[in-house]
Amino acid sequence: MTRPLPATILTGFLGAGKTTLLRHLLYADHGEKIAVIENEFGAVAIDDGLLGDRATRITTLSNGCICCSSANELSDALHDLLDGIDRGELTFDRLVIECTGMADPGPVIQTFFSDERLSQRFLLDGVITLVDAVHADEQLSRHTVAQAQVGYADRLLLTKTDLAGDTQALEARLARINARATLHRVVNGLIDHRAIFGVDGFMLNDRLPVSPPRFRPLIEPDNAIASLVVRLAHPLDIAAVSTVMEQLLVNCADNLLRYKGVLSIAGDDRRLLFQGVQRLYSADWDRDWREDEPRESVMVFIGIRLPEEDIRRAFDALNA
């Protein structure tokens, strides 16, 4: 079986600079052939003209937003790409999907896991979210979808920082929404492709950076979406933690965007890794715990108005 093709979802609110970044990626010296699926609001696509001719193939979805009405159109486009490969008419090393600025990335992610052929032939590498440093604070306050785009991200790219001045408060707000995504600054779409490709955001691994806010303003912006970080110092009973997780999914699955953790299980020297997107999750055993690292469980949950006290109480009970 051939190696799965890595796929990157490029998202961000209107005007964040997605097309500028994508054009830079297409012309960068990384030696990979890139196929592009782009989504346009409206009947006429214009971005493919802006991107130039460096993409192996550009498929434009212009009938609405791929997070909702055109979800089947995205699936069809992905199958069309695979059919072109199988017929020997098309070859590429990587796929980039540029979402419209109003798209919720959740259904786009689900597309790769809800179809057996797509899940076998594509490897979802990561969600890259661009954040406009000039306008993001207002956008995050007015539009929940802007918060969702941040919440799903594996990488946050802060754009227009040359125009925005001090971004410390915005960066702190982004960390409250998504504590596990690393933040990179981007000007005019210029960034090393290695910060975007090879993210392994949907692979079971222990890449679990947690970025606490550097300070909390006196009046906090209202985030419908926020991060919850749980740390447990004692090894956990695997049946008990499974029960808590199952109940969490029963109560909150629709509001859970991304979640990931490294667990210390009683009676086993291996680390247990888990991650999920809404109702889809997976877990597997990892390497043994090293003597020089704290043997603790760390979990990060990103969701919409999660019942923080109830979740903490349920996991804290496991320590007993």
- The CATH fold assigned to 225-319 is Hypothetical Protein Yjia; Chain: A;domain 2 (3.30.1220)
Question: Of the spans 16-25, 149-158, 162-171, 193-202, which averages the highest pLDDT?
Answer: 149-158
Q: What is the DSSP letter of 85?
A: H
Give pLDDT tens digits for 254-298. 889 999 999 999 999 999 999 898 888 888 999 999 999 899 999
Q: What are phi and psi of 64, to 5 degrees?
A: 90, -160
Is a pLDDT exceeding 80 seen at residue 52?
A: no
Residue 213 reports pLDDT greater than 60: no
User: 66: closest CA among 25, 9, 144, 146?
Assistant: 9
Residue 42 has pLDDT above 60, yes or no: no
Rounded mean pLDDT of 58-72? 60
* Distance, CA of 229 to CA of 232 (rounded, Å): 10
Q: Which residue has the higher pLDDT, 69 or 266?
A: 266
Kindly report the average pLDDT of the chain as a whole number.
85
Query: CA 27, CA 34: separation in Å to the nearest integer?
Result: 10
Mind listing the pLDDT tens digit for each residue in 100-123? 888 899 989 989 988 999 999 999
Confidence at residue 203, expressed as pLDDT on a 0 to 100 scale: 79
Residues 6+ apart with CB under 8 A from 118: 75, 78, 79, 82, 111, 112
Q: Which two tokens stand for residue 229?
A: 């970080």
pLDDT for res 63: 54
Are the C-beta atoms of 22 and 98 separated by less than 8 Å?
Answer: yes
What percent of the chain stands above pLDDT 70? Answer: 86
pLDDT range class, residue 3, cuts 50, 70, 90: confident
- Residue 277's pLDDT is what? 87
Q: Residue 167: its pLDDT value, please?
A: 93
Q: Which residue has the tokens 């740390």?
A: 231
> Domain boundaries in the chain?
5-195, 225-319
CATH code 3.40.50.300 for 5-195: yes
pLDDT of residue 73: 83
